[in-house]
Amino acid sequence: MHIHILGICGTFMGGLAVLARAAGHKVTGCDANVYPPMSTQLEAQGIALIEGYGVEQVKLEPDVFVIGNVVTRGNPLMEEILNRGLPYVSGPQWLRENVLHGRWVLGVAGTHGKTTTSAMLAWILEHAGMNPGFLIGGVPQNFGVSARLTETPFFVIEADEYDTAFFDKRSKFVHYAPRTAVLNNLEYDHADIFPDLAAIETQFHHLVRTVPGNGLVVANGAEAALDRVIARGAWTPVERFGGSGAWQAGEADADGAFTVQHAGVVQGRVQWQLLGAHNRQNALAAIAAARHAGVPVALAIEALGRFENVKRRMEVRGTQRGVTVYDDFAHHPTAIATTVAGLRRSVGAARILAVIEPRSNTMKLGVMKQALPGSLQEADRVYCYSGGLNWDAADALAPLGNKAEVHADLDALIKAIAAHAQSGDQVLVMSNGGFGGIHEKLLKQLGAH
């Protein structure tokens, strides 16, 4: 089969392209911006890329066009496909029908922690010799790739609640038909497509409805929103972690190690270096899901001791003049607060300089701007990049007083951080995008001071 992917350079669609190529299909694709690292990764797989959405691409005559959710009505190539009546399908639907069908799918859903928990789960299965396939919205450092296809039945997928395509407004995860479904947490997000939390809860219940009776739902026991989702109806056994759930994580030692309990019985001790209570909860979810697929708890705990996290999750990008620069994907206020708190527990009294780019669609709309000051309370200094915002970031961060600075110019922001930073400082950069290459630029600026 020849598939031509519209929007191929997105994380999900790029991963789909890799899986399709591994399955023996001919894959071509296009995107508005074809650039590294995704472009080089795809070209290395023998996937031809086209810049833009020119109508001449219909002459490629693929068996089907696979449409990413970045594509809208008015896109010239999409309009030509519609006018000619050519076959097209969404990415999630193609994935289900051509890759996931017949496999034991382990889907990880939730507002926060999907990528990390998916990476943990894939690594546990790998450590247990189960050689899983996976599609994850980040690069697990244990694997070095975000997607792979194997001959085994096990497949781990990050189950995103964002909509599927312009012609299918259901959440992507409804297509995946997981046998094991992790519901990590649930908060209001994606204000560009969901009017309120109740609308997202409905989508999560659609996911629960797809899990078979011989499957398992692993749910966060401290989330009222997930309780409401499950109360709507569940036809599958449910195991809960955290809160009053059967799976519990003890407090972390100074070195990050913690005990795992199930039904009040200690199962073992995870020896690792990851920060934060959120990662301990992610670990519980991964252990419970892996057990459902047949991995003994002791082996899962052993695997987590060798887990290397995901790129862009508290990733150290470098140190200059004694100043350490981190990169983290946090962009929702809850994730920002959790990330800052985790770093605080790790570095003690050292100064934390938090640098944020409110870049997600939800943040750009200003829906959660009032929650930002509270999420940054544990930072000693806060720097916000306001380029592209249509709301007043300085006004929103005013409760932080003079410890917050806002800059609309990226170079000015970098210079301000470098001028203020001192040896021993921890600079925590948080964004769900590339942030204009701020990490390298900041390290260079620090070195020049």
- Torsions phi, psi of 381, nearest 5? -140, 150
What's the mean pLDDT when you consider all of the chain?
92
Q: How confident is the model at residue 363 (pLDDT cuts 50, 70, 90)?
A: confident
269-305 per-position pLDDT tens digit: 999 988 788 899 999 999 999 999 999 999 999 999 9
Contact (Cβ atoms closer than 8 angstroms) between residue 79 and residue 161: no
Percentage of the chain beyond pLDDT 70 is 99
7-58 per-position pLDDT tens digit: 999 889 999 999 999 999 999 999 998 766 677 778 888 898 999 999 999 9
Which one is predicted more confidently, 311 or 228? Answer: 228
**pLDDT over 90 (residue 360):** no
**pLDDT over 80 (residue 312):** no
Give the residue-averaged pLDDT of 306-311. Answer: 83
Provide the pLDDT for residue 432.
81
Contact (Cβ atoms closer than 8 angstroms) between residue 90 and residue 164: yes
Rounded to whole angstroms, the Cα distance separating 98 from 16 reads: 10
Q: How confident is the model at residue 250 (pLDDT cuts 50, 70, 90)?
A: very high
| Highest averaged pLDDT of the listed ranges 83-87, 193-197, 378-382 | 83-87
Tokens of 64: 């089907």
Give the residue-averaged pLDDT of 369-380. Answer: 90
- Lowest-pLDDT range of 49-53, 131-135, 200-204, 391-395: 391-395
- Lowest-pLDDT range of 115-129, 150-164, 181-195: 181-195
Give the residue-averaged pLDDT of 61-90. Answer: 97
**SS3 letters across the chain:** CEEEEECCCCHHHHHHHHHHHHCCCEEEEEECCCCCCHHHHHHHCCCEEEECCCHHHHHHCCCEEEECCCCCCCCHHHHHHHHHCCCEEEHHHHHHHHHHCCCEEEEEECCCCHHHHHHHHHHHHHHCCCCCEEECCCCECCCCCCEECCCCCEEEEECCCCEEECCEEEEHHHHCCCCEEEECCCCCCCCCCCCCHHHHHHHHHHHHHHCCCCCEEEEECCCHHHHHHHHCCCCCCEEEECCCCCEEECCCCCCCCEEEEECCEEEEEECCCCCCHHHHHHHHHHHHHHHHCCCCHHHHHHHHCCCCCECCCCEEEEEECCEEEEEECCCCHHHHHHHHHHHHHHHCCCCEEEEECCCCHHHHCCCCHHHHHHHCCCCCEEEEECCCCCCCHHHHCHHHHHHEEEECCHHHHHHHHHHHCCCCCEEEEECCCCHHHHHHHHHHHHHHC
Provide the pLDDT for residue 310.
76
- Lowest-pLDDT range of 238-242, 281-285, 320-324, 387-391: 387-391
CB-count exposure of residue 373 (10 Å: 0-12, 13-18, 19+):
middle
**pLDDT over 80 (residue 364):** no
Rounded to whole angstroms, the Cα distance separating 278 from 262 reads: 18
Tokens 């600026």 label which residue? 445
**pLDDT over 90 (residue 65):** yes
**pLDDT over 80 (residue 223):** yes
Percentage of the chain beyond pLDDT 90 is 70
**pLDDT over 80 (residue 367):** no
Domains (range + CATH), the chain: 2-90 (3.40.50.720), 102-304 (3.40.1190.10), 315-448 (3.90.190.20)
110-138 per-position pLDDT tens digit: 988 899 999 999 999 999 999 999 999 88
- Lowest-pLDDT range of 66-70, 348-352, 369-373: 369-373
Provide the pLDDT for residue 44.
85
Q: How confident is the model at residue 370 (pLDDT cuts 50, 70, 90)?
A: confident
Give the residue-averaged pLDDT of 94-103. Answer: 96
Rounded to whole angstroms, the Cα distance separating 184 from 120 reads: 13
Give the residue-averaged pLDDT of 140-166. Answer: 94
